[in-house]
Amino acid sequence: MTRLAWLALSLMLSTTLAAADGISSEREQELHNLLIQDCGSCHGLQMKGGLGPALLPELLQGKNVDYLSTVILHGRSGTAMPPWSPLLSPEEARWIAERLLQGVAQ
Amino acid sequence: MIRIIGCLLTLLVVNPADAARGTGDLGLFIERATSSVQIVETSGNTSIGSIGELGDLSHASVVYSRDERYAYVFGRDGGLTKIDILKAEISKRKLQSGNSIGGAISQDGRLVAVSNYKPGGVKVFDAESLELVADIPATYGDSQQRSKVIGLVDAPEGKFVFALWDAGEIWVLDMSDRSTPIIQKFSNIGRNPYDALITGDGRYYIAGLFGEDGMAMLDLWNLSAGVKRILPDYGKGEKKLPVYKMPHLEGWAVAGDLAFVPAVGSHEVLVIDMRNWQQAGRIKVHGQPIFVMARPDGRQVWVNFAIPDNDTIQVIDTQSLTIVKQLKPGKGVLHMEFEPRGEEVWLSVRDENRVEIYDTRTFERRNSIPATKPSGIFFTARAHRIGL
């Protein structure tokens, strides 16, 4: 019985760890699609730039997740970059920032 | 027997050139995730072929040769591809820049121009051979920076017109003598022109401004009058909503004397009285409008929207200026293209991987074609329209 309880607890823990950022895998799929298709409509589907600047990892060196997620959430005034906070949570913006720094796989 | 007929049909479909058919009911749509296009026909509403390996097709657009046989596809990666739509094959392809946004074909069909983001400028090619004819760098300011170029269109008398996003300028490029390009520049038109259009008669070139209110208009019949600001008071003092996708101004939604354009940063379609270029109305719509397109007879205007409202289409009746229909074709409605006389409209539904065909009278869905992340749809009838 105790064993079972431990098993259940460890299972719960591992589930919690997997979703440490609180984003379900289904939502990650949606975010990935948003990153490629909607961020891509200005930055290019391959993040090589368009009306907005290129966002390739080598060009983002020196910029961290905090900075990038702040720009995503609040936009850049005086530019066409809009604030995404009405559509994305801070955790989701961080998830996108991490993907950008890693390089967006096609 | 049925099997043999089946085989024959397959042969016809695989190699449309053998069928000795016309091209007036053909077109293609972009599948941007797979770097491919599907060739389609609008008489039976079917897909008849596919061509791949076209590079990065983010924001790709298409113009047609005057014989409506060849499609010129402008890719984001600077790729310029000439497709033989009868044979369903690539006849020529070149990478002409690092990053481009669209193109135009000249009045006489002999030149194809491409507008480039990087390096910013316009390149003009021979439509037959795709050999470079003219290279026009979009330099501006004292330090001779280069600007991204947007809103490139063809205009009568051998001209191309385009706008400079970074510089806030409109340039008229006269290519009537291809060995001697003549450029006329108009500066201080307003900040960040994001897209532009030319009226169907080829007279007025109008650029939307992202960085300030109103639109910049150039009367090509009276170039000496310079660029004028129209709708200068639109949106003054109102808080702008975030713009998650740049509106498009391709085509000119006109009904009688009224023109319909997307507002920027507000959920409205603006109505302009073309007799005096004053605002004639504002129609509340479902989201940030992206494409505002009139059915060819001008009776209806169809509107799609930016994320998060891009699952919806609204139809405006141009007599009453009210919304008469709302459709939910699915997530990610990116583009619309009317059949030449407007009885049907094709919609690309990106996130559902379908292209949908609707009857514009009954609003019933007529057909659905499987597609991979479809975006722009372009029919050959564009070949004979100024500015498309």
Domain residue extents for chain B: 2-384
Q: What's residue B11's pLDDT?
A: 46
Tell me the chain B residues in contact with residue A42 when contact means C-beta distances shorter than 8 Å: 245-246
Q: What's residue B226's pLDDT?
A: 97
Q: What's residue B33's pLDDT?
A: 81
Which CATH number is correct for B2-384, 2.60.40.1180, 1.10.3810.10, 1.10.3720.10, 2.140.10.20? Answer: 2.140.10.20
Which CATH number is correct for A22-102, 1.20.58.110, 2.40.10.120, 1.10.340.30, 1.10.760.10? Answer: 1.10.760.10
Mean pLDDT of all residues in A32-60 = 91
Q: Is the pLDDT of residue B32 over 80?
A: yes
Which of B16-20, B85-89, B200-204 is predicted with the least confidence, judged by mean pLDDT? B16-20
Q: What's residue B133's pLDDT?
A: 97
**Mean pLDDT of chain B, nearest integer:** 92
pLDDT grade for A10, boundaries at 50, 70 and 90: low
pTM for the whole structure: 0.89
Write out residues 46-105 of A within 8 Å (CB-CB) of B. 46, 48-51, 75, 80, 82-84, 86-87
Which of A41-45, B103-107, B203-207, B300-304 is predicted with the least confidence, judged by mean pLDDT? A41-45
pLDDT grade for A24, boundaries at 50, 70 and 90: very high
pLDDT grade for B272, boundaries at 50, 70 and 90: very high
* pLDDT per residue as tens digits for the range B139-157: 998 888 999 999 999 999 9
Q: What's residue B7's pLDDT?
A: 47
User: Cα distance from A44 to chain B (closest Cα, Å)?
Assistant: 6
Tell me the chain A residues in contact with residue B148 when contact means C-beta distances shorter than 8 Å: 51
Q: Is the pLDDT of residue B82 over 90?
A: yes
Q: What's residue B211's pLDDT?
A: 80
Q: Does A29 touch chain B (CB under 8 A)?
A: no
To test the contact with chain B by mutation, choose from A26, A34, A48 the residue with the greatest count of B C-beta atoms within 10 A, namely A48
Q: Are B141 and B132 in contact (CB under 8 A)?
A: no
Q: Does B256 touch chain A (CB under 8 A)?
A: no
Q: What's residue B250's pLDDT?
A: 76
Q: Are B208 and B196 in contact (CB under 8 A)?
A: yes
Tell me how many helices (H) and strands (E) chain A has.
5, 0
Q: How many CB pairs under 8 A join A and B?
A: 65
pLDDT grade for B118, boundaries at 50, 70 and 90: confident
User: Cα distance from B242 to chain A (closest Cα, Å)?
Assistant: 5
Mean pLDDT of all residues in B154-176 = 97
Q: Is the pLDDT of residue B218 over 90?
A: yes
Mean pLDDT of all residues in B378-384 = 97
Mean pLDDT of all residues in B195-222 = 93
Q: Would you state the structure tokens that stand for residue B317, as one six-digit string?
A: 């009746």
Tell me how many helices (H) and strands (E) chain B has.
1, 34
Domain ranges of chain A: 22-102
User: Cα distance from A82 to chain B (closest Cα, Å)?
Assistant: 5
Nearby residues of B222 by Cβ (< 8 Å), 6 or more positions away: none
Radius of gyration of chain A (CA): 17
Q: What's residue A9's pLDDT?
A: 52
Q: Count CB-CB contacts under 10 A for residue B8.
A: 10
User: Cα distance from A46 to chain B (closest Cα, Å)?
Assistant: 8
How buried is B68 (Cβ within 10 angstroms: 0-12 exposed, 13-18 middle, 19+ buried)? buried
In sequence order, the β-bridge partners of residue B84 are B70, B89
Q: Is the pLDDT of residue A21 over 80?
A: no
Mean pLDDT of all residues in A49-71 = 94
Q: What's residue B223's pLDDT?
A: 97
Q: Is the pLDDT of residue A14 over 50?
A: no
pLDDT grade for B198, boundaries at 50, 70 and 90: very high
Q: What's residue A64's pLDDT?
A: 95
Query: Which residue does chain B place closest to A46, by CA atoms?
Result: B56
Closest to A38 (Cβ–Cβ): which among B59, B210, B244? B244
* Interface contact flag, B56 A80, Cβ < 8 Å: no
pLDDT grade for B256, boundaries at 50, 70 and 90: confident
Q: What's residue A17's pLDDT?
A: 43
Higher pLDDT, B204 or B1: B204
How buried is B43 (Cβ within 10 angstroms: 0-12 exposed, 13-18 middle, 19+ buried)? exposed
Q: Give which of B106, B194, B107 is closest to B151, Cα–Cα.
A: B194
Cα distances from B34 to residues B37, B53, B82, B340, in angstroms, run: 9, 8, 18, 28
pLDDT grade for B99, boundaries at 50, 70 and 90: confident
Higher pLDDT, B131 or B236: B131
